[in-house]
Structure 1
Amino acid sequence: MKRWMKILLPLLLAVVFVTGILLGNLLDFQDSSLANSSSKRQKLNRLINYIDKEYVDDVNTDSIVDVTVNSILDNLDPHSVYISNKEYDFVQDNMRGDFVGIGISFYNIKDTIAVIRTLSKGPGEQAGLEAGDRILYADAIPLFGNSMTNDSLTKILKGPANSKVNLKVKRFGENNLLDFEINRDVVPLISVDTGYMVNDTLGYIKINRFAESTYEEFKLKMREFATPQLNSVVLDLRNNGGGFLKQATTILDEFIADGKLLLFTKNKNGDINETYSTNLGDYEDKKLYVLIDEKSASASEIVAGAIQDNDRGTIIGRRSFGKGLVQREMNLGDGSAVRLTVARYYTPTGRSIQRPYENGNSDAYYSDYMERYTNGELLSKDSINVDDALKYKTPEGKIVYGGGGIIPDIFVPRDASQAIQDIQFMYEGGVMDRFIFDLLDEKRKFYNSLSKDDFLARTLITEEVVKKFTRYLGDFNMNYNFGSTSLILEKYLKATIAKQLFDIDLAEKIAHENDPYITKVLNLSSKEKLKE
């Protein structure tokens, strides 16, 4: 198991992260027409038409066009991307921050839809669906059987806003099927994962990406958990691949006083566009800690860079990814689009966040990123290469560096224990989710009856549960002996139960117990109180 995870974990992390970067490119949506003709474009059109009409075998010229566009973009920079018409709706949903549906998470278990949990305040929850329910029919269409894929199930459960869907549901303990009439509605794709009070004065909020709804989610979540005693805020941007710049700068404005430069852009003509803070902001008097890691990119780096360059707060973690290119989306007329790099972003001191790249060579670009996992940079701040020619000073005289990414003020090494990394990956990557669902299903009535206080007070992850999880991994040829890390495993298994039974806020609060980032914040906060 250790050897398997050691080989595969960096690769899986890279795939997940690169996907996040592609979804989270800094977007400046200004539709642009590509209808202007030229001899070069006509040459390409003639070639494709010639192949389509005369080539001896049948050829899918659409795929040729896709390959051609991707080949062109590959020679520009790593972040100019092509989005096919098949991918476009998914990408738009992700960045828009919502979709229309019934608001459930589900597994396909033994050819039947099993509800993992209903989304808070979504149509499914309001109609009375519960975790563990099996949805057998939707508008008399059977949803069980080998022919049903997750894609086809999703299409049936989605539909126009305010349209109705009639479900027949099997619930444990009930002899007859239950009928539910549900009005499909807009279901948010949450970009603010969680928010809670760490202690009486310190609030924590986690943003996974900057979607269209992020600022609204941020304000709502802060109002939900913040107390009158709140005097410090932890803004967690770890694993945040970026997104809409406007959402990032609006959140920045909540923390930075009026009239401060937040960032500027520069295009190929040297035109500069500056963004300043306004007099709006509810948290300008709060101490601020921003958490970043090697997977924090683009809009996340804009936030961290502006906070650092304005001497506003403390940046904690590891050097961020280093993505500071501005993309603008241009529709290609067939439902597909190109996001083309049109400018660069700079922090208030003039630092470029973008890492170097050679002629758009994305393989070399991402290989360079992956070297961080082997060259010691994630374990020691001294291993981060800095260029003295790219040295800058903040207004208060703090030294910061350009050349790619944001280097934190306080370094937190990646956990050197491979076993702990594996467990964290199992939690974050969903490996534990299905196991916990099956565990809850064995005693669904008991687990559903627990209050939060009962849940927290009980020892639900026993030695036997750990053994069951070990056997569960073994069924997938992942042989593992948790040994001294069993207590850490128990914490994350309990957090996974909390996520499925209650909500992500409780799950993350459990998962963050002894989190080295949070521990670092608490230590800094205590020292600052002693100085006061």
Structure 2
Amino acid sequence: MKYILLPVLLVCTLALQAQNINQDALRKLQMAEFAISKLYVDSVDENKLVEEAIIGMLEQLDPHSTYSNAEEVKKMNEPLQGNFEGIGVQFQMIEDTLLVIQPVSGGPSEKVGILAGDRITAVNDTAIAGVKMSTEDIMKRLRGPKDSKVNLTIVRRGIADPLHFTVKRDKIPILSLDASYMIQPHTGYIRINRFGATTAEEFLTAMKDLQKKGMKDLILDLQGNGGGYLNAAIDLANEFLNQKDLIVYTEGRAARRSNFYAKGNGNFREGRLVVLVDEYSASASEIVTGAIQDWDRGVVVGRRTFGKGLVQRPIDLPDGSMIRLTIARYYTPAGRCIQKPYSGKGDDMQEAYAKDLLDRFNHGELMHADSIHLPDSLKYQTKRLGRTVYGGGGIMPDFFVPMDTTQYTDYHRNLVAKGVIIRSTTGYIEHHRQELQKKYKNFEAFDKDFEIDEAFLTDLRALADKEKVKFDEAQYQRALPLIKTQLKALIARDLWDMNEYFQVMNATNQSVQQALKVLNEGFYEQLMDKTTTEL
């Protein structure tokens, strides 16, 4: 017990010396825990009591100061570390069976001959299909230390007997880039889904490949990117900015100002740059976007970002758990605080913060640019051109793109929620994979000529009926273009990869199309000449 308390007492002692905290508060907490553990009528779990006390204290601070137990810490870190150890397949659970969407290129499953469309029914002779096993439990069985082996039983369409494979686990990359391709002559497109340990390296590889294909301008898509490592954001921003350009600075009550500068060795410091953001772009995404906007290095297209600009310091606890404590705020080069306002305490604060996006939707902000009214006190000037930009939480785009709700109906939402769209695609691919691969030698041919036919849609509606999705003709017709696009994109993903998926989806993505309009119709140059422009 003394060993466990020593680090905590050491931290508390340092805090008392530095901040002159009332020692009575610490004694009060210790006495309460001691009394409960020793005198309460029933036995208690002391570790659980301490955990709940920590959680309760952090809930009084801000929405992002949090406690995570040891298992949660491991899960939280894995997506950002850039890899995990396992068999290397992208999969989906379809009717209680694991369906392989794609084996990871060069991964252990591909090496032994596992194919897209295979169904894994057993792991080390333990059935995982038809037994209602959770996805988490299945993943635990498939993952394991590098070089360890796992035996898989596979059912493959067209082959009567099950197949058996022994897979040697290896490190499997978790990629930050969803897509990179030439979206038009001289214009590249790169989509980043998170800021992890390998983001800058992945981006640089993709960018150099696009430059070889003639890229002069770049669309950087950060829509839906919830953030990640600060260092990854700094490394990415460095690719666009000049030497000694301030990227971001942090400052807090007990944390002195820290400045982060560009090194000047970036590979895309010239050429037109458009950054796409939306209400789910947060944290590291906002750091990159704010730096690019403040230095007039590029233009921002989309909707106001989330507004998560608090610096968390991880404090590791002896049992492997961790506190993430807010110690400072992020500020853009022009001095804008990225963090949106929050107020109240405990549950009231958490609830209000969580429903902020809903409030923005109800207020009309996501559909109408003129619904946002900010005071002059939140006006800032960019560093080179002196353009007016706004603070107050999140990054305001230079060109607003309203959320398109015309095709999103209750019928479509139910199709997605019940897995009808994905399962329809899976069934179609299973029956037509060889036919599609023979007919379309490459994605370009598929993208040009493939169309969702009425037979496919009839099967989709039949599956929807089976899943008790009530049919509504008017809503179906409204959502039909979106349904067709999603089906085609999912087929492209299954036949090729995520790169091709986004090529299909981006053909109708309004922010992507507005970015092209900004580049192609002179709006980019007008903005950089300090001309106010609206689309």
1:518 shift after superposition:
1.8
Partner of 2:230: 245
Correspondences of 1:268-417 after superposition (within 5 Å): 268-269=253-254, 271-360=256-345, 361-394=349-382, 395-417=384-406
1:465 equivalent in alignment to 2:456: yes
Query: Whole-Å Cα distance in 1 between the matches of residues 306 and 420 of structure 2?
Result: 25
| More off after superposition, 249-258 vs 65-74 | 65-74
Calculate the TM-score normalised by the size of structure 1: 0.87
2:490 is aligned with what amino acid?
Answer: T
1:523 shift after superposition:
1.6
- Is contact 1:197–1:226 with CA below 8 Å preserved after alignment? no
Calculate the TM-score normalised by the size of structure 2: 0.87
Query: Whole-Å Cα distance in 1 between the matches of residues 360 and 110 of structure 2?
Result: 43
* SS in structure 2 of the partner of residue 392 of structure 1: strand
Q: Relative to 1, partners in 2 of residues 1:488 and 1:274: Cα closer, same or farther, differing over 3 Å?
A: same
1:93 is aligned with what amino acid?
Answer: E
* SS in structure 1 of the partner of residue 212 of structure 2: coil
Correspondences of 1:153-164 after superposition (within 5 Å): 153-164=138-149
Q: Relative to 1, partners in 2 of residues 1:107 and 1:304: Cα closer, same or farther, differing over 3 Å?
A: closer
1:451 is aligned with what amino acid?
Answer: K
* SS in structure 2 of the partner of residue 369 of structure 1: helix
- Is contact 1:263–1:346 with CA below 8 Å preserved after alignment? yes
- Is contact 1:255–1:286 with CA below 8 Å preserved after alignment? no
1:48 shift after superposition:
2.9
1:513 equivalent among 494, 507, 512: 507
1:390 is aligned with what amino acid?
Answer: L
Instruction: Kindly indicate whether structure 1 or structure 2 has the higher relative contact order, using CA contacts under 8 Å at least 6 residues apart.
Output: 1
1:131 shift after superposition:
1.6
| More off after superposition, 214-223 vs 73-82 | 214-223
Deviations 1:258-300 (A, max 9, x none): 1211111112147211111112111111210001111111111
Query: Whole-Å Cα distance in 2 between the matches of residues 428 and 207 of structure 1?
Result: 25
1:520 is aligned with what amino acid?
Answer: Q
1:133 shift after superposition:
1.3
* SS in structure 2 of the partner of residue 290 of structure 1: strand
Correspondences of 1:197-236 after superposition (within 5 Å): 197-236=182-221
Partner of 1:98: 83
1:66 equivalent in alignment to 2:51: yes
Query: Whole-Å Cα distance in 1 between the matches of residues 28 and 210 of structure 2?
Result: 60
Partner of 2:427: 438
1:428 shift after superposition:
11
- Is contact 1:194–1:504 with CA below 8 Å preserved after alignment? yes
- Is contact 1:427–1:496 with CA below 8 Å preserved after alignment? no
1:451 equivalent among 425, 436, 441: 441
1:183 is aligned with what amino acid?
Answer: K
1:474 shift after superposition:
3.6
* SS in structure 1 of the partner of residue 232 of structure 2: helix
1:71 shift after superposition:
1.4
Query: Whole-Å Cα distance in 1 between the matches of residues 265 and 414 of structure 2?
Result: 39
2:483 equivalent among 479, 486, 489: 489
Partner of 1:51: 36
Partner of 2:530: none
RMSD: 2.7
Partner of 2:497: 503
Query: Whole-Å Cα distance in 2 between the matches of residues 425 and 528 of structure 1?
Result: 41
Deviations 1:172-194 (A, max 9, x none): 22244333232211112222111
Percent identity, aligned pairs only, is 37
1:367 shift after superposition:
2.6
Query: Whole-Å Cα distance in 1 between the matches of residues 273 and 176 of structure 2?
Result: 20
Q: Relative to 1, partners in 2 of residues 1:530 and 1:440: Cα closer, same or farther, differing over 3 Å?
A: closer
Structure 1 alignment gaps of length 5 or more: 1-31
Query: Whole-Å Cα distance in 2 between the matches of residues 285 and 262 of structure 1?
Result: 17
Query: Whole-Å Cα distance in 1 between the matches of residues 217 and 481 of structure 2?
Result: 30
* SS in structure 1 of the partner of residue 519 of structure 2: helix
Deviations 1:325-381 (A, max 9, x none): 100100122121111001111111111111111145221222333211111111111
- Is contact 2:200–2:235 with CA below 8 Å preserved after alignment? yes
Partner of 1:255: 240
Q: Relative to 1, partners in 2 of residues 1:228 and 1:461: Cα closer, same or farther, differing over 3 Å?
A: closer
| More off after superposition, 105-114 vs 124-133 | 105-114
- Is contact 2:306–2:394 with CA below 8 Å preserved after alignment? yes
1:436 shift after superposition:
1.3
User: Which protein is bigger by CA-based radius of gyration?
Assistant: 2
Partner of 1:22: none
Partner of 1:522: 516
2:372 is aligned with what amino acid?
Answer: I
Q: Relative to 1, partners in 2 of residues 1:212 and 1:431: Cα closer, same or farther, differing over 3 Å?
A: farther
- Is contact 1:112–1:144 with CA below 8 Å preserved after alignment? yes
Aligned length: 501
Correspondences of 1:126-165 after superposition (within 5 Å): 126-146=111-131, 148-165=133-150
- Is contact 1:353–1:404 with CA below 8 Å preserved after alignment? yes
Structure 2 alignment gaps of length 5 or more: 1-5, 14-22, 527-535
Deviations 1:432-454 (A, max 9, x none): 32331122223444345553345
Query: Whole-Å Cα distance in 2 between the matches of residues 68 and 391 of structure 1?
Result: 41
- Is contact 1:387–1:403 with CA below 8 Å preserved after alignment? no
